[in-house]
Structure 1
Amino acid sequence: MAAHLIVSTTTDSEESARELAAKAVEASLGACAQIVGPITSVYRWEGEVHTDPEWRVEIKTAQDRVAALVDLLKANHGYDVPEIIATPIEGGSTEYLDWVITETR
C-alpha cells in the first residue's frame, strides 16, 4: 500500500463536513482536509434511488493512520453507512508528502 493516502467521505451538510475535517486534523489522523461542495449524489438506499446534495471531505494522511481515521469518521458520522474510501497517492511533492507524515505523528 502507498505511504500516503486521501481518505474521502461525504456528508449531508457543510457544518458536518467541517466538524469531521476538524476532528481528523485535531487528532493528528490527517495533515489537512479539503471540503468540496455542495455536490449532487445519486444513490440507492433501502431500495429507492435518491438524489441529494452532499459535501465531500478529502483528508490527506499516512498509511499507518488510515485505520484510526476510519474509526474516527465512523464514530462521528451521521450516516448509518458512511462512504469512507482510501485512495493511494502515487506521487507528488516530496516536501508536501513529508509534511503529511510529520503532521500525522
Structure 2
Amino acid sequence: MAHESQAAPAPSIVVYVTVPNKEEGSKLASSIITKKLAACVNQIPGIESTYWWEGKVETDSEVLLIIKTKKSLLDELTAHVIQSHSYKTPEVIALPIQGGNPAYLKWIEESTK
C-alpha cells in the first residue's frame, strides 16, 4: 500500500542586500514583503562594509537585509532591488538553503507568490 507523501517545498534561498541606512532598509523590506517577493526580511543595523569602489577603498556604515524567499523569485526580487535602491550597483547575493525546519521552509513557499 502506498503512503501519501507531501511534496517537498520549492527550493528556498537567502538573499543578502546592503542598504545605506535603516530608513531605506525599512522601505525596501516593506515593498519586498508587500509584493510577496519574500516571506521575511531581517534588518541588521550597524554593519561596517569595506570595499573597492571606483579605484579606491571605501568604508561605510550600512544595514544588512537578510531576505528569505523561493529560488524562483530571485530574478524578480533582483530587478525590484535594482529599481528601488539608491546605490548605483546594489548588492544582491543569493545563497541556497540546504535544509532546515520543514515547517519554516513550507511557510516561505506559502508566504510568497
Normalising by structure 2, report the TM-score.
0.89
Trace 1:20-99 onto structure 2 (pairs within 5 A). Answer: 20-99=28-107
1:9-53: CA deviations, max 9, x gaps?
101101011111111110000001000111000011111111110
User: Is the partner of 1:75 in helix, strand or coil?
Assistant: helix
User: Is the partner of 1:68 in helix, strand or coil?
Assistant: helix
Superposed structure 1 runs of 4+ greater than 3 Å apart: none
User: Is the partner of 1:17 in helix, strand or coil?
Assistant: helix
Structure 2 unaligned regions, length at least 5:
1-9
User: Is the partner of 2:110 in helix, strand or coil?
Assistant: helix
Greater CA radius of gyration, 1 or 2? 2
Structure 1 unaligned regions, length at least 5:
none
User: Is the partner of 2:76 in helix, strand or coil?
Assistant: helix
CA RMSD of aligned residues (A): 1.0
Letter in 2 for 1:24: I
Q: Does 1:9 align with 2:20?
A: no
Normalising by structure 1, report the TM-score.
0.96
Q: CA deviation at 1:88?
A: 0.5
Q: CA deviation at 1:64?
A: 1.0
